[in-house]
Structure 1
Amino acid sequence: MTNTDNTFGAAFAGFAASSLCLGVLSTQAYSYFKRYPLDKRFYKWLVAGLWLLEVGDQCLIAHAVYTYLVSNWGVVTILLAPPVWSLVLQIMVGVVTGTIVKLNYAVRVWRFSKENIPVTGLILLLTFGELGVACWYTVKSFQLDSLANIGSEKNLGTLSLALGMATDVVIAAALCWFLRGLRTGHGKDDSVVNSLIIYAISTGGLTSVISFTTLLLYNFMPDNFIFMAFYFVLSKVYANSFLAALNTRRVSRGRGTDAETTTMPTFLMVGKVTQRTIQLDPEAHAQSPISPGKSDQKSSLSPMQSHTYAEAW
């Protein structure tokens, strides 16, 4: 007898969790357009596109869950029928979102590494490899005679999830490695770099853990839908991490509202320049009325550190 808790129940739990993630994503998208009205048009379209993709992804999840839990309420034999089209198509939409986000992080690696071709090329190879395998998995899933046989495509599904997890690890490791080169020895500068390293580890670690958990569940428990619950939220975690990076920028060149003092450094801030500026005391050229005998060549040197954060976009 089919256990409805780890099949229909797990799918419903995944739908609820992904709905919550979509709510967070919508809030971040609203915050982005409100705080950065002068940002580049390309990234405005990118944010809008990611949000629309995830809204579409959530609609597909909702349709699949509604089909299994409402339209076929109590009909357990629905699991023996071919998978509903929306459930299969959702796989592809989720991978597209992850691919877009990973390509943007690949650009970050490219710039932080001073155009390192091997590392950036490896990230691109893994990213497009995952996309290709996911496309083939989607095609094969449409050909399934029964949803209960979804485990028959375990090899393709495992490879796709493994490639995604490997990409996250490589991106996080590459960013941490190349960010080390931005350290200058100044406490304030190094604290920014350390914050970026922590952000890289936490973001890559979170998506890697979700991918790894989905992979394990899919391999060891393919007969239930618990792995689907984790996969439902995966693409939204990618999108949220990207928008979080956009919304925590310190903007420059008049873009956005940088009057806020609580913004944190992100990967969108590169080109950090630390320099010491020598300023001449304007009063040093004038003879002191109290000490007229002092030389008019007197000057004072005041070291000043200036930190310029330029956007990488």
Structure 2
Amino acid sequence: MANKDSTFGAAFVGFAASSLCLGILSTQAYSYFKRYPLDKRFYKLLVAFLWLLEVGDQCLIAHAVYTYLVSNWGLVTILLAKPVWSLVLQITVGVVTGTIVKLNYAVRVWRFSKKNILVTGLIFLLTFGELGVACVYTYQSFRLESLADIGSMKMIGTLSLALGMATDVVIAAALCYFLRDLRTGHSKDDSVVNSLIIYAVGTGGLTSVVSFTTLLLYNFMPDNFIFMAFYFVLSKVYANSFLAALNTRRVSRGRGTDAETTTMPTFLMVGKATQRTVQLDPEAHGQSPISPNKSDMKSSLSPMPSHHYAEAW
């Protein structure tokens, strides 16, 4: 007989954890729209779409948990019936969220790497590979005669989770490698780069850990719902990491990715030598005073727009 703690109990815990993550995501979405009212429409629509997608994902999880824990309360035999449709569909919805976030990270790698086709192409390949395998897994799940037979699709499920984890590792490694080349030797600029590297490792490490844990549990304990509990949370971890990246940008009158300008070291200045003007005494060097070139003065004194770097990050 199935253990209720490792099946129904695990599903309930996963639902509670995913609800908490959705609350954090909602707070981040609210903070984004409040802090960056002049952000580009693309980012606003993307944030809204991700939030709606995760709300829909949570509704699917809630329906599945309600079906197993309330409508069929105490009936362990429900595990021998066909999987409820919402539980199966949630698999694909969760992967779609991860795909959107990873594609945005791939764009960052593309910009930071100065359009490195090989690395960026690998990330795209892994991302769409995971999406394709997950769709196959969803299709096969709809054809299962019993939820207890979910372990029979271990190969497809393992491949999908492994591709997702590999994508996270490649993205984090690529960002760290290419961000390292943006160091200028100036402490202020390099501190920004170091912060971005730490952030890339942190977000990539977090998603990788959740994916790896889900992968291990699915392979060693496929007959319970513990791995499902971790999978319920995974997509919201991706969405939260993306919104955190948007919300940690420099705030300048709510402009965000529009046309933020500043004379202080910003994301755009990373990788570019800080232009400094050196005042020399012409007579001390045996030279006649020469008026500086206007274009040079303009390039060294004009504030440098940081919206390009903000878009990249």
Q: Same fold (TM over 0.5)?
A: yes
- The match for 2:308 among 289, 298, 311 is 311
Tell me if the contact between 1:278 and 1:304 (Cα under 8 Å) persists in the aligned partners.
no
- Equivalent residue runs for 1:165-204 within 5 Å: 165-204=165-204
Q: CA RMSD in A?
A: 2.7
> Normalising by structure 2, what TM-score?
0.87
State how far apart, in whole Å, the 2-side matches of 1:39 and 1:63 are.
Answer: 35
1:234 is displaced (CA, Å) by: 0.2
1:277 is displaced (CA, Å) by: 3.5
Tell me if the contact between 1:251 and 1:311 (Cα under 8 Å) persists in the aligned partners.
no
Tell me if the contact between 2:28 and 2:243 (Cα under 8 Å) persists in the aligned partners.
yes
**Which is bigger in relative contact order (C-alpha 8 A, separation at least 6)?**
2
State how far apart, in whole Å, the 2-side matches of 1:51 and 1:13 are.
Answer: 22
Tell me if the contact between 1:271 and 1:310 (Cα under 8 Å) persists in the aligned partners.
no
Identify, as 1 or 2, the structure richer in helix.
2
| Ranges in structure 2 where 5+ consecutive residues have no aligned partner | 261-265, 282-288, 292-299
1:308 is displaced (CA, Å) by: 5.7
| 1:77 maps onto 2:77 in alignment | yes
- Equivalent residue runs for 1:50-89 within 5 Å: 50-89=50-89
- Equivalent residue runs for 1:86-101 within 5 Å: 86-101=86-101
Read off the aligned partner of 1:110 and give its amino acid letter.
Answer: W
State how far apart, in whole Å, the 2-side matches of 1:249 and 1:223 are.
Answer: 44
Residue deviations 1:150-200 (CA, integer Å, cap 9, x gap): 001100000000000000000000000000110001111111111111001
State how far apart, in whole Å, the 2-side matches of 1:148 and 1:103 are.
Answer: 34
Read off the aligned partner of 1:159 and give its amino acid letter.
Answer: L
| 1:32 maps onto 2:29 in alignment | no
- Stretches (4+) displaced over 6 A: 303-307
| Aligned residues between the structures | 290
Partner of 2:286: none
State how far apart, in whole Å, the 2-side matches of 1:271 and 1:251 are.
Answer: 16
Tell me if the contact between 1:106 and 1:123 (Cα under 8 Å) persists in the aligned partners.
yes
Worse overlay, 272-281 or 177-186: 272-281
State how far apart, in whole Å, the 1-side matches of 2:181 and 2:243 are.
Answer: 26
Read off the aligned partner of 2:192 and give its amino acid letter.
Answer: V
| Ranges in structure 1 where 5+ consecutive residues have no aligned partner | 260-264, 285-296
State how far apart, in whole Å, the 1-side matches of 2:152 and 2:307 are.
Answer: 50
Residue deviations 1:118-138 (CA, integer Å, cap 9, x gap): 000000000000000000000
Read off the aligned partner of 1:133 and give its amino acid letter.
Answer: V
